[in-house]
Amino acid sequence: MKLKTIFSNLPLRSILFVFAGLILGWLIFHKPQGESGNNVRTVQENHHTIWTCAMHPQIRMDDPGQCPICGMDLIPLEQQIADINPDAIVMTEDALKLAEVQTTIVRTERPVKKLRLYGKVQADERLIQTQAAHFPGRIEKLLVSFTGEEVRKGQLIAQIYSPALITAQEELLLAVKMEEVQPLIYNAAKEKLRQWKLTENQISDIENSGAVKEIFDIYATASGTVTRRIVNTGDYVSQGSPLFEIADLSNVWVLFDAYESDLPWIRKGDKITFTLQAEPGSEYSGNVLFIDPVISQKTRVARVRIELANPGNNLKPEMFVTGTLEAGLSTYGNSLIIPGSAVLWTGKRSVVWQKLTGTEEPSFVMKEVTLGPALSDGYIVTEGIKEGDEIVTNGVFSVDAAAQLSGKPSMMNLPGDMTPARSRDSLVNYSSSNNLLHSSFHVSGNCEMCKDRIEKAASAVPGVSDASWDIETNEMELNYDKSRTDLLSIQSSIAAVGHDTELVRADDSVYNALPECCLYRK
């Protein structure tokens, strides 16, 4: 009766049901306090620790292990709290050390372009004279018989038998007898001998002796070195025929070959310092006095001339020289200059990697730059970065590769051309989709002069970004834009300066005009 009375009371029955529900819920969901604490701690630890690779920071793993790309042990990642550029690539300090990444602060400097020029020593054309025969006859004796012999002005160099001169002597002897009656005839006979370069002493000897000489002496009309012997004993010569070529080598010319790409930076008065293969360690210098106004049709170069005194005859004609000219680019004034190793090329565009400031870990973002003239070890930058920016100058490809694998902007994945991230296999030939191709082929050559000539000929082709020729293997390595040029055009440009390639043979006349050290055909 009491239970019926309790359950018949509605308020009291509701209270009992609520209390029973609370007890049942506690029994179902309650767990020991120690077990609950362990689960919460495990969840928090798994959520906090993320594992990455020092060389491939794009790898993110929840558990420790090995990198799926390089196999290195994964390391804990310290989460970057700072908000950085979403296009930036973040690398750990360990990754930078392993990749040998180095950076440089961009500075404003006076641009100087260093040109490397090759040339030869030549005799001064203004000091070259030809020793000629002033009357016809037969060479009876040569007293200067070999090239390179030194002669002095007035020195006896040859003897000639001349029937015409014998007749002229007879005319003089007859005129002597009529000198008082016909002085004009006498003077005319003497003048004829003077025109044949006989000296007054020789003419007086003929008059005094009264006898006709059959053999006459030839005396040198200039001092210098015999650079060419044209006649031999017994040769017949006519009036005006050259016998010897004599050069005064007390002053010489040094003629350098300048390619079309070099000419804009060369001015009269520029100083060229050069060395000789015959005198290692010695340096000579001179100022540019003349620049050839015409480019050779065969070699595609113009001659640049300096003049030097040569008192010790150390500078001998046909010696090979290697010169250096530092040309200041006055049209640019002070400019931003970056090392060549900092630049990556992709088709028509050039990019660098800039280090961001204010980040806890090293972070880099790609910047597209506009380049001015190329210097000896760098480039002038006209747009894209500013003074004080810090850019990567060593390990650039490592930074760019990390960006490629992360799907971030890179030289192969520029902003505006972004596509989903690619696997490593798909990146191998990805450069071809941006028209940038790499190629290697054989080019014949021998020496440093060949290397300079070959690389300049290849780089002069529009679309070729860089070219390097190896002297030991004769292999050319280059990158070029396939939308602007092709291998046949590049190899044709190289063959045009005298070097055979796999596809094109150089013209024989161009090849034969190369310096002797560059002649590679057997």
Question: 335 in helix, strand or coil?
Answer: strand
Q: What is the CATH number of the domain that holds 154?
A: 2.40.50.100
Q: Is there a contact between 436 and 481 (Cβ–Cβ < 8 Å)?
A: yes
| Stated pTM of the model | 0.55
Q: Summarize the confidence of residues 6-32 as an average pLDDT.
A: 55
Residues 262 and 228 in one domain: no
Residues 228 and 151 in one domain: yes
Residue 346, beta-bridge partner list: 349
Q: Which of 288, 311, 328 is the last residue of a domain?
A: 328
**What confidence tens digit (pLDDT) does each residue in 231-262 have?**
999 999 988 889 999 999 999 999 999 988 88
Question: 409 in helix, strand or coil?
Answer: coil
Residues 316 and 237 in one domain: no
Residues 254 and 297 in one domain: yes
| Best mean pLDDT range from 156-165, 374-383, 430-439 | 156-165
Q: Summarize the confidence of residues 300-319 as an average pLDDT.
A: 91
Residues 142 and 222 in one domain: yes
Residue 390, beta-bridge partner list: 105
pLDDT at 210: 82
**Number of H-type helices and E-type strands within the chain:** 12, 28
Average pLDDT of the chain to the nearest whole number: 80
> Torsions phi, psi of 177, nearest 5?
-65, -25
pLDDT at 36: 41
User: ∠ CA(399), CA(400), CA(401), 5° rounding?
Assistant: 90
What percentage of the chain carries pLDDT values higher than 90? Answer: 23
The pLDDT confidence band at residue 37, using thresholds 50, 70 and 90, is very low
The string of DSSP letters for 157-216 reads: EEEEE-HHHHHHHHHHHHHHHTTTT-HHHHHHHHHHHHHTT--HHHHHHHHHH----SEE
Residues 305 and 236 in one domain: no
The pLDDT confidence band at residue 48, using thresholds 50, 70 and 90, is low
Residue 451, beta-bridge partner list: none
Residue 320 lies in a domain: yes
- In our burial notation (b when 16+ CB lie closer than 10 A, e otherwise), range 194-233 reads eebebeeebbeebeeeeeeeeebebbbbbebbbeebebee
pLDDT at 440: 87
Closest CA to 479 of 421, 425, 412, 396: 412
Handedness of CA 169, 173, 178, 179 (dihedral sign): positive
Is the pLDDT reported for residue 404 higher than 80? no
Is the pLDDT reported for residue 290 higher than 60? yes
pLDDT at 208: 85
**Domain membership of residue 453 as a residue range:** 435-522
What percentage of the chain carries pLDDT values higher than 70? Answer: 83
Please state, in angstroms and as integers, the Cα–Cα distance from residue 99 to each residue in 58, 94, 395, 402, following that order.
15, 9, 6, 11
pLDDT at 77: 60
Residue 291 lies in a domain: yes
| Best mean pLDDT range from 201-215, 296-310, 422-436 | 296-310
Q: What is the CATH number of the domain that holds 272?
A: 2.40.30.170
Please state, in angstroms and as integers, the Cα–Cα distance from residue 42 to each residue in 35, 45, 144, following that order.
11, 5, 106
Q: What is the CATH number of the domain that holds 502?
A: 3.30.70.100
Question: 266 in helix, strand or coil?
Answer: coil
pLDDT at 26: 53
The pLDDT confidence band at residue 336, using thresholds 50, 70 and 90, is confident
Q: Summarize the confidence of residues 181-205 as an average pLDDT.
A: 84
Residues 236 and 253 in one domain: no
Residue 28: count other Cβ atoms within 10 Å of its Cβ: 6
In the chain, the largest separation of any two C-alpha atoms, in whole Å, equals 194
Residue 363: both structure tokens together: 């972070």
**What confidence tens digit (pLDDT) does each residue in 483-507 have?**
888 888 899 899 989 999 988 899 8
Is the pLDDT reported for residue 423 higher than 50? no
Q: Which of 247, 278, 305 is the last residue of a domain?
A: 247
Residue 185: both structure tokens together: 């005839």
Is the pLDDT reported for residue 517 higher than 80? yes
Q: Summarize the confidence of residues 187-191 as an average pLDDT.
A: 87
Q: Which of 4-13, 25-34, 166-175, 416-425 has the lowest mean pLDDT?
A: 416-425
CA atoms of 222 and 131, how far apart (whole Å): 8
Residue 259 lies in a domain: yes
Residue 306: both structure tokens together: 């300096």
Residue 364, beta-bridge partner list: 89, 355
Residue 337 lies in a domain: no
Instruction: Give CA 181 to chain center in angstroms.
Output: 81
Of 426 and 234, more confident:
234
Tell me which residue has tokens 């296999």: 425
Count of domains in the chain? 4
Q: Summarize the confidence of residues 416-444 as an average pLDDT.
A: 52
Closest CA to 394 of 428, 355, 357: 355
pLDDT at 9: 59
pLDDT at 391: 92
The pLDDT confidence band at residue 79, using thresholds 50, 70 and 90, is very low
Please state, in angstroms and as integers, the Cα–Cα distance from residue 514 to each residue in 125, 275, 507, following that order.
21, 20, 11
pLDDT at 12: 58
Residues 238 and 287 in one domain: no
CA atoms of 178 and 186, how far apart (whole Å): 7
Residues 132 and 120 in one domain: no
Q: Summarize the confidence of residues 311-330 as an average pLDDT.
A: 87
